[in-house]
Amino acid sequence: MATFRILVADDHEVVRKGLVALLQQQPNWEVCGEAGDGREAVEKTRELRPEVVILDIGMPSLNGLEATRQILKLNPQAKVLILTLHDSDQVVRDVLNAGARGFLLKSDAARDLVAAVEALRRDKTYFTSKVAAMVLEGYLKGGAGPAPATTGRNRLTPREREIVQLLAEGKSTKEVAVVLGLSVKTAETHRSNIMRKLQLHSVSDLVLYAVRNNIVHVVQAGVETRQ
């Protein structure tokens, strides 16, 4: 079985070493690199090409959100898990909007880190129960901005739903075009039409829509579910 490569970035060495120790206990998982700030994480991603990058959101030099954007630009196949002390709705939105596939509170890391990384390894998203509940509560209160779920969902064509899934999974418009055998221009047109139909205004809104309408899988506290 091929080794699964992980990069860990946190400016607190004790925290970073603790995360590394947890991950290295897993068979066929390798922590291929460590970084003490976001800029170093970007450079090590360029050099080492890890499959999963674990980032503290509050690092110096380059924060976890900006590092996420740069890492995914460098390596769109990489999957990013954000660690944070804060669990506000705005932080969750910012994390999703940056393109991260998972969000884990540091207070939950000892219990849930391995489950979170395993979810990303399997091309799923990961939210702990508290964060998932908060995301969906915000959606149901209208904070996410999209049109009513059932109405919007029924208006989408099968191809549009396919594109929503790919975009919600972190694919760029160019990658969507390649996967579906479309021109980039056609894929961009589809994306614009979808955003207009659903009255969405950001990538985070699109992800929330996809979660709420069972277009993408979510893992809560290590248990794969459909929302």
Q: What is the pLDDT of residues 70-126, one digit of tens each?
A: 999 999 999 999 998 877 777 887 888 888 989 899 988 999 999 999 999 998 889
Q: Please answer whether residues 67 and 41 qualify as being in contact, where contact means their C-beta atoms are separated by less than 8 angstroms.
A: yes
Residue 227 in this model has a pLDDT that exceeds 80? no
Which neighbouring-strand residues pair with 218?
125, 225
Domains annotated on the chain, with CATH = 4-128 (3.40.50.2300), 139-215 (3.40.50.2300)
Per-residue pLDDT band for 207 (boundaries 50, 70, 90) equals confident
Per-residue pLDDT band for 219 (boundaries 50, 70, 90) equals low
Q: What is the pTM of this model?
A: 0.69
pLDDT digits (tens, 9 = 90+) for 159-182: 898 898 888 878 889 999 998 899
CA distance 69 to 215: 23
**pLDDT for res 161:** 83
Residue 49 in this model has a pLDDT that exceeds 70? yes
What 8-state DSSP symbol labels residue 199?
A: T
| AA letter at 135 | V
Higher pLDDT, residue 57 or 214: 57
User: Percent of the chain having pLDDT more than 90?
Assistant: 46
Burial classification of residue 97, based on how many CB atoms lie within 10 Å of its CB (0-12 exposed, 13-18 middle, 19 or more buried) = middle
Strand order across the beta sheet in which 218-220 lies: 29-35, 4-9, 52-56, 79-84, 102-105, 125-127, 218-220, 223-225
> What is the torsion angle, in degrees rounded to the nearest 10, for the CA atoms of residue 13, residue 19, residue 20 and residue 25?
150
Per-residue pLDDT band for 50 (boundaries 50, 70, 90) equals very high
Q: Which residues contact 187 (CB under 8 A, 6 or more apart)?
A: 163, 173, 174, 176, 177, 180
**pLDDT for res 144:** 45
Q: Please answer whether residues 82 and 64 qualify as being in contact, where contact means their C-beta atoms are separated by less than 8 angstroms.
A: yes
